[in-house]
C-alpha cells in the first residue's frame, strides 16, 4: 500500500505536500527535534562554567559562542535530513518520480530549517540574555540566525546527501561541512559584534543575503547530484 501523494505535476503541489509529510513524520519523534536545542543550550552553558561567569567577559565572547553553538547544533540535526528516507527506499522513489527534483529537495531543506534553524533562532534570545548580550546584539543575533541557518541547512544538505549511504557518517559529515560553514560564521558573528559596538550591520546582512541567494540557486543542484551518486552504489 503506497502512500498517495497528490500527483499534480505542479511545483507547488509537491513542495507543500512534501513539507506536510515530513513535518508530520518528524513530530512523531519529538526527541529528534528537541535534542539539538538541548545541545545548543548545554554548549552555551559550558562557557561560563569553563572560563568565568563574569559579565564583561561573557558579553564579549557571546556573539562567537552563540553562533558556534548554533552551528554545531545544526550539524547534529543533519542526520535526519535524508537518512530515514534512504533506509525505507523513499529517497530512491523521489529520484525516480516525475516530480521536479528541485522542488522536492527545496521542500526537504525547508523542513529541516523549520525543525532546526527556526527553533534555534527563537531560542537564541534566552541564551543571549544568559551571556549578557545587549539588546542591539540580540536583535542582530536573531536576524543573522534567521538568514544564516537556512544557508547552514542548504550546505549541510550537500554533505548529508554525499554521506547518506555510508556507515558511521557522523565525523565525516562534520569534516566535510564545517570548512564550508566558515564564511557564514565569520559574517554572522561579525555582524553581531558590530551591532554590539553600535555600528550598522546592513552590509553584513546583505552579504548573508547574497550567500543565501547563492545557496538557494546552487545547492539543490549539488544535492541532487550527490543523491544520485549516493544511490548509484
Partner 1 sequence: MWRWFHKLGSPKWFYAISGRWLPWFAVAALLLLSVGTVWALMFAPADYQQGNSFRIIYIHVPAAFLAQSGYVIMAVAGAIGLIWKMKLADVMAKCCAPIGASFTFLALVTGAVWGKPTWGAWWVWDARLTSMLVLLFLYLGVVALQSAFTDRNQAARASALLSLVGLVNIPIIKYSVEWWNTLHQPASLTLTEKPAMPAEMWVPLLIMVAGFYCFFTVVLLMRARVELLDRERRTGWVKDIISSGKS
Binding residues for partner 1 (CB under 8 A): 158, 162-163, 166, 169, 172, 175-176, 178-180, 182-183, 186-187, 190, 211, 218, 222, 225-226, 229-230, 232-233
DSSP letter, residue 97? S
Instruction: Rank residues 108 and 204 by Cβ distance to partner 1 and give the closer one.
Output: 204
Q: Give the position of cell 546552487.
A: 218
At closest approach, how far in Å is the CB of 142 from partner 1? 21
Instruction: Rank residues 138 and 230 by Cβ distance to partner 1 and give the closer one.
Output: 230
User: Which grid cell is 66?
Assistant: 552563540
At closest approach, how far in Å is the CB of 194 from partner 1? 9
Instruction: Rank residues 90 and 225 by Cβ distance to partner 1 and give the closer one.
Output: 225
Instruction: Rank residues 17 and 157 by Cβ distance to partner 1 and give the closer one.
Output: 157
At closest approach, how far in Å is the CB of 137 from partner 1? 16
Contact between 191 and 185 under an 8 Å Cβ cutoff? The reply is no
User: Which grid cell is 208?
Assistant: 548573508
At closest approach, how far in Å is the CB of 162 from partner 1? 5
At closest approach, how far in Å is the CB of 61 from partner 1? 14
The residues near 36 (Cβ < 8 Å, ≥ 6 apart) are 73, 74, 76, 77, 116, 119, 120
Q: What is the Cα–Cα distance from 7 to 126, expressed in whole angstroms?
A: 43
Instruction: Rank residues 72 and 176 by Cβ distance to partner 1 and give the closer one.
Output: 176
Instruction: Rank residues 18 and 219 by Cβ distance to partner 1 and give the closer one.
Output: 219
3-state DSSP of 19-51: HHHHHHHHHCCHHHHHHHHHHHHHHHHHHHHHC
Beta strands in the chain (DSSP E): none
Contact between 71 and 124 under an 8 Å Cβ cutoff? The reply is no
At closest approach, how far in Å is the CB of 29 from partner 1? 27
Other CB atoms within 10 A of residue 198 CB = 8
Other CB atoms within 10 A of residue 111 CB = 21
Amino acid at each position: 500500500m503506497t502512500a498517495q501523494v497528490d500527483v499534480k505535476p505542479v511545483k507547488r503541489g509537491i513542495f507543500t505536500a512534501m513539507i506536510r509529510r515530513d513535518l508530520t513524520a518528524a513530530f512523531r519523534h519529538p526527541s529528534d527535534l528537541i535534542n539539538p536545542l538541548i545541545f545548543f543550550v548545554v554548549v552555551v552553558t559550558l562557557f561560563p562554567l569553563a572560563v568565568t561567569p563574569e559579565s564583561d567577559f561573557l558579553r564579549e565572547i557571546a556573539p562567537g559562542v552563540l553562533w558556534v553553538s548554533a552551528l554545531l547544533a545544526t550539524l547534529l540535526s543533519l542526520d535526519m535530513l535524508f537518512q530515514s528516507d534512504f533506509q525505507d527506499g523513499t529517497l530512491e522513489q523521489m529520484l525516480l518520480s516525475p516530480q521536479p527534483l528541485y522542488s522536492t529537495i527545496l521542500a526537504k531543506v525547508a523542513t529541516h530549517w523549520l525543525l532546526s534553524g527556526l527553533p534555534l533562532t527563537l531560542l537564541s534570545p534566552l541564551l543571549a540574555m544568559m551571556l549578557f548580550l545587549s539588546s542591539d546584539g540580540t536583535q542582530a543575533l536573531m536576524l543573522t540566525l534567521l538568514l544564516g541557518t537556512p544557508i547552514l541547512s542548504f550546505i549541510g544538505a550537500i554533505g548529508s546527501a554525499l554521506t547518506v549511504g555510508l556507515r558511521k557518517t557522523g565525523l565525516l559529515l562534520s569534516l566535510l561541512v564545517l570548512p564550508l560553514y566558515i564564511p557564514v560564521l565569520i559574517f554572522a558573528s561579525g555582524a553581531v559584534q558590530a551591532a554590539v559596538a553600535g555600528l550598522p550591520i546592513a552590509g553584513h546582512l546583505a552579504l548573508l543575503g547574497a550567500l543565501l541567494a547563492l545557496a538557494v540557486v546552487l545547492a539543490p543542484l549539488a544535492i541532487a547530484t550527490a543523491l544520485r551518486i549516493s544511490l548509484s552504489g
